[in-house]
Amino acid sequence: MGKKIIKNGTIVTASDTYQADVLIEDEIIAMIGKNIAIDGAEVVDASGLYVFPGGIDPHTHLEMPFGGTVSKDDFETGTMAAAFGGTTTVIDFCITRKGETLRNPIAEWHAKSKDKAVIDYSFHLMIGEMNEDVMSELPSILSDEGITSFKVFMAYKNVFQADDGTLFQTLKTAKDLGALVMVHAENGDVIDHLVNEALALGYTDPIYHALTRPPEAEGEATERAATLTGLAESQLYVVHVSCEDAMLKIKAAREKGYDVWGETCPQYLVLDQTDLEKPNFEGAKYVWSPPLREKWNQEKLWNALKNGYLQTIGSDQCSFDFVGQKDLGKGDFTKIPNGGPMIEDRFSILFSEGVKKGRITLNQFVDITSTRSAKLFGLYPKKGTISVGADADIVLFDPNVERTISAETHHMAVDYNAFEGMKVTGEPITVLSRGEYVIKEKQFVGTLGAGNYIKRARYGKTLQNDSDIVTV
Ligand code: URP
Ligand code: ZN
Ligand code: ZN
Ligand code: ZN
């Protein structure tokens, strides 16, 4: 691969903003400095653009069997859309089945991603139950697969839901092995009760999805998971925090000194519960879990990102067509597949609504969309920053261009966009994955299968590139 020099851009990391050139060689950042000149190197002009580390989306469900169907965007369309949106690494959830070796679903996830992904990717592993077999398999999964994060669902009764014993044992095992435990924190038993009551009363519209999953069910589960984490002296990452109630439980746990982290998603920052009331079953487009909340929660979540009570943003990409998939739940909201198409707009929405509106700083934006996830999930400093020796995963971002989000122009496979009509400022122009163009001047120029599977470091450890750094 030839050398590239990115010139005239403004480099932004989680800590610094400065003007310099970036030399890329052999997939990595070989040098950062003023006026770099190398014979034969391709010069990429980044005048007026930010040079961001590629986004890391720590929460995706590509081609996931769920709700009687399979999420529409797979590793091909999903990673292409991610790249258009400024994301260069996704960590997808490998869904396991109780009573079966963990190796089978991991092999399935490799099979469905290997020849499709256009950007780098990694897997989290769902733990549905903890028993002797699972315990004995896990050490080799960390060492062979580099999977260093486990996911426990506290909701979706009779589907994915695990009991507290499994959660506690997972926390203890993760502590011993050096893994981070992730939880979907909602009280699945309480939700099941509320859902049955609603159905018995004949309440079937999409809005009842939200009304039967109240903030208290999320807050309670979040507090329980945090408490068990403290007891196990382990580490916890709460995915898709949707409301103030849950956010405050994370804040309180952190103030006690517990190693607890929180992620929110763009949908909770800009959409609200009234979207589920849209007529003609359109509310189904906004059915995911936890549900959208009353609007006042949005500013609480923004403040939490600003003040560090929540630290990351994931997309929770899990897309289903409105026609042919969401409509499985016409006449019964419990049959609407849960999830939405978010992978493409995560980065832009955080920039536009966050940085441009003064809610977070430019450096916080990089931390929240990339660096913090790299650190928590064992990818740093190979990924998540612009520094010598890091992978050249780079986004050249125009902070001033204005556009309207629409399914007409998005690159996801689904037939609607949850942010339809929303005006955003700022857009990725060119996106590099390990030094190769994936998006060039807003056009896809990547290659299916060019994305590498990334084995991650254990919790709290760094991941280094072993290739030699070029010194010129
Ligand atoms: O509704 C959602 N969020 N679907 C994806 C699975 C999950 O709970 O994250
Ligand atoms: Zn979830
Ligand atoms: Zn009741
Ligand atoms: Zn999810």
**Closest Cα to atom 8, ligand 1: which residue?**
289
CB atoms within 10 A of CB 232: 20
**Closest Cα to atom 4, ligand 1: which residue?**
339
State the distance from the centre of ligand 1 to the C-alpha of 445, rounded, in angstroms: 31
State the distance from the centre of ligand 3 to the C-alpha of 271, rounded, in angstroms: 28
State the distance from the centre of ligand 4 to the C-alpha of 444, rounded, in angstroms: 26
Does the beta carbon of 267 lie inside 6 Å of ligand 1?
Answer: no
Confidence of residue 36 (pLDDT cuts 50, 70, 90): very high
Does the beta carbon of 7 lie inside 6 Å of ligand 1?
Answer: no
State the distance from the centre of ligand 1 to the C-alpha of 291, rounded, in angstroms: 10
- Mean predicted lDDT score pLDDT of the chain: 97
State the distance from the centre of ligand 3 to the C-alpha of 193, rounded, in angstroms: 6
pLDDT tops 50 at residue 222: yes
CB atoms within 10 A of CB 26: 15
Does the beta carbon of 151 lie inside 6 Å of ligand 1?
Answer: no
Does the beta carbon of 338 lie inside 6 Å of ligand 1?
Answer: yes
pLDDT (mean) for 54-63: 98
Ligand 1: atom nearest CA of 338 is 1
pLDDT (mean) for 239-250: 98
| 252 in Cβ contact with 304 (< 8 Å) | no
Q: Where are the domains of the chain?
A: 1-472
Residues 6+ apart with CB under 8 A from 451: 75, 79, 113, 117, 118, 119, 120, 121, 433
Best mutation site among 60, 61, 268 for ligand 1 pocket (most ligand atoms within 8 Å of CB)? 61
State the distance from the centre of ligand 1 to the C-alpha of 441, rounded, in angstroms: 33
State the distance from the centre of ligand 3 to the C-alpha of 273, rounded, in angstroms: 22
Tell me 455's DSSP state. P
Ligand nearest to the CA of 159: 1
Best mutation site among 288, 325, 336, 414 for ligand 1 pocket (most ligand atoms within 8 Å of CB)? 288
Best mutation site among 338, 343, 414 for ligand 1 pocket (most ligand atoms within 8 Å of CB)? 338
**Closest Cα to atom 9, ligand 1: which residue?**
316
Residue 425: Cβ-neighbour burial (10 angstroms; 0-12, 13-18, 19+)? middle
State the distance from the centre of ligand 3 to the C-alpha of 219, rounded, in angstroms: 18
More confident residue, 371 or 470: 371
More confident residue, 283 or 2: 283
pLDDT (mean) for 141-164: 97
Cα 268–chain centre separation: 13
Written as one string, the DSSP assignment of 200-238 is: HTT--STHHHHHTS-HHHHHHHHHHHHHHHHHHT-EEEE
Confidence of residue 360 (pLDDT cuts 50, 70, 90): very high
pLDDT tops 80 at residue 472: no
**Closest Cα to atom 1, ligand 1: which residue?**
288
Distance, in Å, from the CA atom of 334 to the CA atom of 199, rounded to the nearest integer, reads 9
State the distance from the centre of ligand 3 to the C-alpha of 218, rounded, in angstroms: 17
Best mutation site among 152, 237, 318 for ligand 1 pocket (most ligand atoms within 8 Å of CB)? 318
Distance, in Å, from the CA atom of 18 to the CA atom of 80, rounded to the nearest integer, reads 29
pLDDT (mean) for 99-119: 97
- Strand-pairing partners, residue 184, are 153
pLDDT (mean) for 340-359: 98
ipTM: 0.95
State the distance from the centre of ligand 1 to the C-alpha of 355, rounded, in angstroms: 27
pLDDT (mean) for 416-427: 98
| 425 in Cβ contact with 352 (< 8 Å) | yes
pLDDT (mean) for 211-223: 98
Q: pLDDT of 288-331, one tens digit each?
A: 999 999 999 999 999 999 999 999 999 999 999 999 999 999 99
Q: Which residues have CB atoms below 5 A from the ion given as ligand 4?
A: 316
**Closest Cα to atom 5, ligand 1: which residue?**
339
The three-point CA angle 108-169-70 to 5° equals: 30
Q: What CATH homologous superfamily does 1-472 map to?
A: Metal-dependent hydrolases (3.20.20.140)
pLDDT tops 60 at residue 467: no
Of all residues in the chain, the percent with pLDDT exceeding 90 is 98
Confidence of residue 465 (pLDDT cuts 50, 70, 90): confident
Q: Which residues have CB atoms below 5 A from the ion given as ligand 2?
A: 184
Ligand 1: atom nearest CA of 160 is 8
Confidence of residue 466 (pLDDT cuts 50, 70, 90): low
**pTM of the full predicted structure?**
0.98
